[in-house]
């Protein structure tokens, strides 16, 4: 039996590695996710059987309940709410690790030094991940303000909490058998620190925060693996933690900022507001006139943003893209790494509408060609196409890599108004000579353009 368990762990770990590798490409991501899920199912079943915790009846019941919950979550959660779902899943991973550490501490009060350290780490990282993810969920869902919540002496308070965590952890580790009160304090401080850790981070930085919390959930699981001495959980947690850190690094570099700046600058608050005043006269255009330009275009680049998800317009943009291609136009979709509210948000959104993967082009690849493009259509994006990042040294986003849509011959911006984006700063793109504003709901505007093409 032990040999079978170990072999199943090796198979599961292989599934994780191959599945993670397949997630690097949109073409293979769905299969990679399925392979990883099968690996996790195998690992859970064999672990429960190995430790004699439950029999097959309970495993089947858990599988059935989990499948139903997952099915409803996948089918009913709108694409606009996908970042919130990812955030809450991160939180579930964190609280699971905390409870595992708590359970083992109750079961074996006189733990060895190494196990005591890993229990403290699983509780600490798991608690921070849980409440931090809840705050991220609330910000993304609009339950609390998406702007940074700052107060005087914030850094001093956070430093004091970190020092307190270290002190309580040491006191707990000295005598864990009689340190239950210190353990409870550690749990409470960890949960509090998760709130204070995420609350000063603005909504514009949510892609970085979500990927960081994802990494935390993996590290918490890794610590829980050491607690229960399960090698596969250690491997799985380490893979998630490492991949989350790599993704976080990609996110903050895409914003031309450091991780401390993201976590502690309060970007998007009144304190950080800056940049030259944006003024001018925006030139509006009707769908009928925009159609005439698109009909004559040989190349069109579509830049999706969060507004596309809000309008649920991904299927409309796919239909318009098909009509443009049928008219002999080359159509591509330019994807910014931090567009939307989570890493890969636009890729997932367009994949749902069956946009061909080879039409999705990353920012670094599309930018050198934009000066040859006839029309750039910006749908719901704002900060990731803001020329102030190149032109205004006083702007908070100066130096941030953007998609240089203003270099195209003509730019159509689909927006409800001239309002600012999530970063809270004005966009001079709206007032450029080659920009035309298509005001209104993005889905309705796209449907109007589709109607024009069909009426040709």
**Among the listed residues 385, 389, 398, 408, the one whose alpha carbon sits nearest the alpha carbon of residue 308:** 385
User: What does the alpha-carbon distance between residue 382 and residue 423 come to, in Å, rounded to a whole number?
Assistant: 9
Cβ neighbors of 241 (< 8 A, separation 6 or more) are: 215, 216, 218, 219, 221, 222
Q: Read off the DSSP letter of residue 420.
A: -
Question: Is 110 an active-site residue?
Answer: no
Beta bridge partners of 375: 300, 410
Q: Is 247 left (phi over 0), alpha (psi -120 to 50) or beta?
A: alpha
Edge-to-edge strands, sheet with 375-379: 360-362, 330-335, 299-304, 375-379, 410-415, 435-439
Q: Read off the DSSP letter of residue 416.
A: S
**Among the listed residues 341, 87, 356, 121, the one whose alpha carbon sits nearest the alpha carbon of residue 219:** 121
Helices (H), 369-436: 388-391
* Residues 301 and 332 sit within 8 Å (Cβ to Cβ): yes
Annotated catalytic residue, options 178, 205, 383, 406? 383
User: What does the alpha-carbon distance between residue 146 and residue 141 come to, in Å, rounded to a whole number?
Assistant: 9
The residues annotated as belonging to the active site are 383
């Amino acid at each position: 039996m032990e040999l079978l368990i170990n072999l199943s762990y090796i198979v599961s770990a292989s599934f994780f590695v191959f599945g993670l590798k397949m997630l690097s490409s949109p073409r293979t991501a769905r299969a990679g996710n399925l392979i990883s899920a099968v690996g996790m199912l195998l690992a859970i079943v064999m672990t429960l059987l190995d430790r004699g915790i439950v029999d097959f009846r309970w495993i089947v019941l858990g599988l059935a309940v989990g499948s139903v919950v997952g099915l409803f979550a996948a089918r009913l959660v709108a694409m606009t709410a996908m970042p919130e779902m990812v955030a809450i899943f991160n939180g579930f991973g964190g609280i699971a690790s905390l409870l595992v550490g708590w359970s083992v501490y109750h079961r074996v009060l006189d733990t060895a030094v190494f196990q005591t350290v890993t229990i403290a780490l699983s509780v600490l990282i798991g608690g921070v991940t849980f409440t931090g993810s809840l705050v991220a969920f609330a910000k993304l869902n609009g339950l609390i303000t998406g702007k940074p919540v700052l107060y005087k002496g914030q850094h001093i308070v956070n430093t004091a909490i970190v020092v307190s965590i270290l002190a309580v952890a040491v006191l707990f580790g000295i005598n864990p058998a009689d340190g239950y009160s210190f353990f409870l304090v550690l749990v409470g401080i960890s949960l509090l620190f998760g709130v204070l850790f995420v609350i000063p981070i603005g909504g514009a930085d949510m892609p970085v925060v979500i990927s960081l919390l994802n990494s935390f959930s993996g590290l918490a699981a890794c610590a829980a693996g050491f607690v229960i001495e399960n090698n596969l959980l250690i491997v799985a947690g380490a893979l998630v933690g490492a991949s989350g850190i790599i993704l976080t690094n990609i996110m903050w570099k895409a914003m031309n900022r450091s991780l401390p700046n993201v976590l502690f600058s309060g970007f998007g608050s009144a304190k950080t507001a800056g940049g030259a005043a944006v003024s001018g006269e925006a030139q509006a255009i009707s769908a009928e006139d925009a159609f005439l330009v698109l009909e004559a275009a040989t190349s069109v680049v579509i830049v999706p943003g969060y507004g596309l998800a809000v309008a649920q317009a991904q299927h409309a943009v796919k239909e318009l893209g098909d009509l443009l291609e049928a008219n002999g136009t080359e159509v591509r979709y330019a994807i910014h790494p931090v567009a939307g509210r989570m890493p890969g948000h636009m890729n997932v959104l367009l994949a749902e509408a069956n946009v061909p993967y080879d039409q999705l082009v990353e920012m670094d690849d599309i930018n050198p060609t934009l000066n040859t493009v006839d029309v750039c259509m910006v749908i719901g994006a704002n900060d990731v196409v803001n020329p102030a990042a190149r032109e205004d040294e006083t702007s908070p986003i100066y130096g941030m890599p953007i998609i240089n849509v203003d270099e195209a011959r003509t730019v159509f911006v689909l927006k409800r108004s001239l309002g600012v984006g999530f970063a809270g700063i004005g966009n001079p793109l709206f007032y450029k000579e080659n920009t035309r504003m298509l005001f209104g709901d993005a889905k309705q505007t796209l449907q109007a353009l589709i109607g024009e093409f069909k009426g040709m």
